Amino acid sequence: MTDTTPITPDFVTRIRAVDGVTDVFSYPTGLARVPGVIAAATGAAEDRRTDLAVTVRDGVPTLATRIAASAVDRAPDAARRVADALLDLTPPNVRIAIQVARIH
């Protein structure tokens, strides 16, 4: 079983400041992700929440988010910079999950 808890807006502000990131989307877990992925891909307004999720599975915490990356930058590079920024803010045992939900 997985527990999900929102993170402070400071994390989102830090992500938005990363070069190549144009937006931050919510990161629901499980089947709840499917509508959100579709909404992010189409730019639907209902997917505009900007929270991150912390999940704990088998005692290992994961910080997860989805981003929109700029088309003028390489999406994997933007995702790596986001991961690096979050790693600077979290303890060493936290896993970071970044999904590029949109490129524009």
Tens place of pLDDT per residue across the chain (104 aa)? 234 444 555 888 899 999 999 999 876 655 455 555 555 555 555 545 556 788 888 888 888 899 999 999 999 999 999 999 999 888 888 899 999 999 98
- Residues whose CB falls within 8 Å of the CB of residue 75, separated by 6 or more in sequence, listed in order: 20, 69, 100, 103
Supply the pTM of this predicted model.
0.72
